[in-house]
């Protein structure tokens, strides 16, 4: 019996060894095709039909996961527990992640369709020569207002402090955004690293508190659509969805200055399916795909070929596709580093706790 067991164990070992050899001899591309493409993106930030179309065209299965903040995404990628092949962070986080070695350098010889992207969105300061990222969507920070509840239409950040807006304003729950609008209203940069300017901006926000109805996140869309507030400070894409749902809502980008943001596609250092990642990037760069995605999401597409095919009411709306002249007063968030980011967060928290 012992000899039989020993014989069977020997056969099992041989079969296991042969299996491992076959697996090693199998082409890597074939192994990658069996592995799903793991995409890490913001919630509701791609047309679900496009994921199905990508799989139908390429045979590549997609595992789609979502995050609700750049910081949450950064933490998961840095931990490395999940093998994300694609992620879509914002500009300042791309700079931070590339500096920390959390992103792969792109092989531009494998990328097709970059000629469709507006050149003004390439070679940005947060990613010179697009070494690590490809533009996905872009937009602004601005003011949504309800023409049924607000008679004095806001045009500038300073208008938010008008006494007639008492208990009418909803603010996005973001330190950079709220501190930034206050800095802009005083003529300062949204990337200020001067304590005197930041303290002035915070004091200025204290004077805004009587006008604040709530500081909220995604729920702002529902509140504004249902006419629960006269004004809201939010991102252009969120505003687009509000406007589509309520004809009395309008969006304004203060001409004196605001945030110009970018969300770009990157390949994290956790990548296990590179060929599929490049296939997805090329798929999203196609004008027909970019057009469908822009119409579904509502954010501004950097794809000029796709933009030209948008309905006139979207393509010609300067609130969502501002002129080059208007863009000159818009600033991209810089990666300020942990020290200054901590200061912004602390001052914003003080403002949130300030009594009305």
Q: What's the structural domain count of the chain?
A: 2
Q: How many CB atoms lie within 10 A of CB 122?
A: 16
Task: Annotate 38-61 with b (16+ C-beta within 10 A) or e (fewer).
Answer: bbbbbeebbbeebbeebeeebebb
pLDDT of the residue at 14: 54
**Would you say the pTM of this structure is higher than 0.85?**
no
Is residue 4 included in any domain, yes or no?
A: no
Query: pLDDT by residue (tens digit) across 297-324?
Result: 889 999 999 999 999 888 888 888 988 8
Q: What is the dihedral of CA 53, 58, 60, 62, to 10 degrees?
A: -20
Q: Are residues 227 and 158 in the same domain?
A: yes
Q: Are residues 255 and 341 in the same domain?
A: yes
Q: Are residues 211 and 155 in the same domain?
A: yes
Q: How many CB atoms lie within 10 A of CB 206?
A: 13
Give the closest residue to 272 by CA, choosing from 36, 20, 26.
36
Which stretches of the chain drop beneath a pLDDT of 50? 1-5, 7-9, 18, 22-23, 26-32
pLDDT of the residue at 161: 98
Q: Are residues 82 and 180 in the same domain?
A: no
Query: What are the distances in angstroms from CA 231 to CA 43, 106, 322?
Result: 24, 42, 21
pLDDT of the residue at 214: 96
Burial class (CB in 10 A: 0-12, 13-18, 19+), 161: middle
pLDDT of the residue at 145: 98
The CATH number of residue 169's host domain is 3.40.190.10
Q: Are residues 122 and 269 in the same domain?
A: yes
Task: Print the domain residue range for 110.
Answer: 30-138+261-315
Q: Are residues 166 and 204 in the same domain?
A: yes
Q: Are residues 187 and 254 in the same domain?
A: yes
pLDDT of the residue at 25: 52
pLDDT of the residue at 29: 46
Q: For residues 162 and 231, is the Cβ–Cβ distance under 8 A?
A: no
């Amino acid at each position: 019996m012992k000899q039989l067991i020993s014989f069977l164990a020997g056969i099992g070992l041989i079969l296991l060894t042969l299996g491992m050899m076959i697996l090693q001899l199998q082409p890597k591309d074939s192994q990658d095709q069996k592995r799903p493409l793991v995409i890490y993106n913001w919630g509701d930030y791609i047309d679900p039909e496009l994921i199905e179309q990508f799989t139908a065209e390429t045979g590549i299965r997609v595992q789609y996961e979502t995050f609700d903040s750049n910081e949450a995404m950064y933490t998961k990628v840095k931990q490395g527990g999940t093998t994300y092949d694609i992620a879509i962070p914002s500009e300042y986080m791309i700079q931070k992640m590339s500096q920390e070695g959390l992103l792969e350098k792109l092989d531009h010889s494998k990328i097709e369709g970059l000629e469709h992207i507006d050149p003004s969105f390439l070679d940005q300061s947060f990613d010179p020569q697009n070494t690590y990222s490809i533009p996905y969507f872009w937009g602004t920070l601005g003011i949504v207002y309800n023409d049924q509840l607000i008679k004095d239409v806001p045009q500038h950040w300073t208008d938010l402090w008008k006494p007639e807006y008492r208990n009418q304003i909803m603010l996005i729950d973001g330190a950079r955004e709220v501190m930034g609008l206050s800095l802009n209203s005083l003529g300062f940069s949204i990337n200020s690293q001067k304590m005197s300017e930041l303290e002035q901006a915070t004091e200025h926000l204290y004077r805004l508190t009587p006008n604040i109805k709530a500081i909220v996140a995604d729920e702002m869309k529902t509140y504004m659509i249902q006419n629960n507030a006269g004004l809201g400070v939010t991102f252009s894409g969120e505003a687009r969805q509000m406007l589509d749902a309520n004809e009395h809502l309008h969006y304004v980008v203060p001409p004196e200055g605001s945030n110009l943001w970018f969300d770009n596609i990157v390949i994290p250092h956790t990548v296990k399916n590179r060929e599929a990642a490049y296939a997805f990037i090329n798929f999203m760069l196609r004008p027909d795909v970019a057009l469908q995605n822009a119409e579904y999401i509502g954010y501004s597409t950097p794809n000029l070929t796709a933009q030209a095919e948008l309905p006139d009411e979207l393509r010609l709306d300067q609130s969502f596709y501002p002129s080059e002249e208007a863009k000159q007063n818009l600033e991209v968030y810089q990666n300020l580093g942990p020290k200054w980011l901590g200061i912004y967060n602390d001052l914003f928290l003080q403002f949130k706790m300030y009594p009305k």
